[in-house]
Chains A and B, each alone.
Chain A
Amino acid sequence: MSKWQTLQTRSFLESTARQRAQGLVDEGSFTELVGPTERFISPHLPELGEAVEFDDGVVTGIGLLGKHPAIVISQEGRFIGGAVGEVGGAKMVGALKLAQSIYEKLQAENPAEVQARRPIVLISFETGGVRLHEANAGLLAHAEVMDQIQNLRHKVPVVSVVGSKIGCFGGMGFVAAATDVIVMSEFSRIGLTGPEVIEQEMGRAEFDASDRALVFRTTGGKHKYIMGDCNYLVPDSIAAFRQQAIAIAALPMDAIENLRRIGSRSAIERQMQLVAMAAEVSPTDAKDMWKAIGNENPQQLIDANYTDFMAQAKRLTPAA
């Protein structure tokens, strides 16, 4: 078995940023850009006496999904919790700009082929948001990434791939929300304020961060899927995420637009309805919302394996 084939069966949750990046695209097609051999390290960490990584915790590169160039950004949670600093942020922005230039070249030179060959961006998040050691640069990077995602709108699908241990929190939670499509596994999480921070600010009675079952049914993939905050829930393997990416790459741009959860009048109307519903249900637990949506036995869904969950779960009117 080739290395790529071994990666396919691997748990996405267990995989490193580089394994995810290589495995998400077609066999042998991945080329890393600004990789560790270039030694672009954070200029801030050495000043603070902290260890650096030669890739600054972000893998960027390009590969193929069939005929579609796939620009991949993959964050490594094992380096400072995947927090985004100046260099890692710049690599993200650079990768998104590359997607834009590929698209524009294709549009100018071969407009008839755009649907068949347009690029796709896959961002494999594993991060708590801004790297506090370089907070200003990190925050600026968040803004630039968001800006760049807007530039790609209606042109290049930007897909959040969230299946890693740390999940996607802090400022990067906003970034994920701003992408066109979100794909998750049940073992990953998306949120803005992390559970520990909520507990610290609001007290344990409000949110007990040590209760991981509570944390997962509030921020985890199953909840996000039921609530429509993520578009697709897939099993925990690199192959499953890759198959979903292939399916998304084949969609026309109008369908991609329909997958967005925010950023249009109709999306805002849906959100307002949800707010009204939440006010009516006044939930004290995610399970209350699951029930209100028509899931009679939420605990059973929580314990269910992937296949049973997908067969049984009722979702809030999905975005698409």
Chain B
Amino acid sequence: MSEQKVWNKTQRDTQERMSHASQYFKPGTKVFEAKDAVAILEAVIRSGDRVNIEGNNQKQADFLSDCLCKLDPARVNKLHMVQSSVPLASHLQAFELGIAEKLDFAYAGPQGGAVAKAIASGKLKLGAIHTYLELFARYFMDLTPRVSLICAYEADKDGNLYTGFNTEDTPLITEATKFKGGIVIAQVNKIVDKVQRVDIPGEWVDGVVQSPKPFFIEPLFTRDPALITDTHILMAMMALKGIYAEYGIKRLNHGIGFNTSAIELILPTYGEELGLKGKICTNFALNPHPTLIPAIESGWVESIHCFGGELGMAEYAAARPDIFFIGPDGSMRSNRAYSQTAGHYAIDMFIGGTLQIDKYGNSSTATAGRVAGFGGAPNMGCDAHGRRHSTPAWMKCGNEFTDQQNFLGDVPRGKRLVVQMQETFQEKLVPSFVEKLDAWKLAEQAELDLPPVMVYSDDITHILTEEGIAYLHRCKGLDQRMAAIRAVAGYTSIGLQAKPEETRALREAGIFKTPEDLGVDRSRANRSLLAAKSIKELVDWSGGLYNPPARFRNW
């Protein structure tokens, strides 16, 4: 007789852990008090667990993260943190204190320097730096969390959660954890009798606590139009004429910089004048950018699905249900996993900025001493090789992709437009074009297997600087690509290597275009083209529905 096999070890272990926690719950509920939060975590987390602290690039389970740091490292240690972002000081403190040991993540933002230091000091073992989708995929493969500490706006006594406008990663984390027998603890801003809408069913949640303060949330996607320069506007004009109009880009994602804000703000002015309404920018995978309000109000946009929310935009989005994804309760629901999927498979163009582009066209936001991570950009800044549906923009770009026939012979295939929009110099005269990416140095310091490249050269189709546009996918071979990059690189050391006769040939071949080649009038590139010149004017456009955070108010 063989021994009886046990198939539910995790579930039994969960039950055992929860039995230690149950004393802290209000009778008949899943609710416990903030003062007992550390004790609860002590009960449910064991050394060596894979733990997720919900840290998106916007909302943060900051209270539970603080509580985790209060555990006794002698009792709880060697935790393997698996979470999309680590932007809080407390995320890194858990490593400093010896509670956590290993990290798999996607984005570090402001803690990029601290991550690099913790790696160097040996207190943090790095698993890998991922993109969001890539890490989410691993939650369902080999990095499933044992315990997840999540956050929501509201909970009821049964653990039903309302995550609303800022739903972001929560459903995915919860599903990966709970359906593999794990434990889910939520911090909420408010315990209520009845949640506004059930975003996460109570059955999937083991405990809820009202945090002493509402969860921290970063207004990452708010750009003040007052800071948009004439150069941003010149580049935005070139983008509209030379790329958006040229390819008829309807489905897209915008990066978070001032360049794309400038594009959003000249749609109702310059875009209207070019007769592009309805022909471009109709469908977005995009956070609710305040600078898109004038274009939405002017009838440019048909739909926007959001990765996350944006502080101050909830009321506006809720009042525009034809545009945003609004629940039956009347409030928006974001979802990073779905929006990233849309951004990977269903957009025809990604356009955004970077920090460094090398002479081959690889780009990176990594700098020496900072492990910033990837976030979502690489999944949008690439051609989705699993894509099989066609659109005119995708087909046109594919037809122009000269080198493609070297691999496919006579079979046609489209190509996503991936546009790097970057001034040749950044603040303090730091060049954007470099011989070798700082990512190499970082890889050496942090002992990474490969330099963290945000967008690889073979995915980039266009580089747009104040000098003009390089249509890289129209090039034959790497040598011509490098010449086209030199042509747009201005007075950087890369740009100074450009040969005038070579640049002339590229212009004749339609591979490099200056503002004049594109018919863009430089004298019109000034702030009078902006549909809104200040945050206040965005509020006015929104009819008072946009409620900007205090730090953006100049009144």
Spell out A's residues near B (CB within 8 Å).
11, 13-14, 165, 186-187, 210-214, 216, 220, 222, 302-303
Contacts and interface: CB of A to CB of B under 8 A. Distances in A.
Interface residues of B, number: 12
Nearest to A165: B226
Interface stretch (B324-332, B470-478, B545-553): B545-553
B554 interface: yes
B527 A212 contact: no
Nearest to B544: A303
B441 interface: no
Contacts of A222: 555
A211 B555 contact: no
Interface string B526-555: 011000011010000000000000111111
A212 B551 contact: yes
B226 A302 contact: no
A187 B555 contact: yes
A212 B552 CA distance: 6
A11 B533 contact: yes
28 contacts: A11-B533, A13-B533, A13-B534, A14-B527, A14-B528, A165-B226, A187-B534, A187-B536, A187-B554, A187-B555, A210-B551, A211-B551, A212-B551, A212-B552, A212-B553, A212-B554, A213-B550, A213-B551, A213-B553, A213-B555, A214-B550, A216-B553, A216-B554, A216-B555, A220-B554, A220-B555, A222-B555, A303-B555
Interface of B: 226, 527-528, 533-534, 536, 550-555
A131 to B, nearest CB: 20
B316 to A, nearest CB: 15
B262 to A, nearest CB: 15
B226, B528, B554, most chain A CB atoms within 10 A: B554
Contacts of B550: 211-214
A210 B528 CA distance: 27
A84 to B, nearest CB: 23
Contacts of B536: 187
A186 B527 contact: no
A186 B555 contact: yes
A211 B554 CA distance: 10
Contacts of B533: 11, 13-14
Contacts of B554: 187, 212, 216, 220
Nearest to B527: A14
B304 to A, nearest CB: 26
Given A212-B552, A213-B553, 7 more contacts: A14-B528, A165-B226, A212-B551, A212-B554, A216-B553, A302-B555, A303-B555
Contacts of A302: 555
A303 B527 CA distance: 25
A210 B536 CA distance: 17
Nearest to A304: B555
A165 B228 CA distance: 13
A220 B534 CA distance: 16
Nearest to B537: A11
B226, B550, B554, B555, most chain A CB atoms within 10 A: B555
A165 B552 CA distance: 14
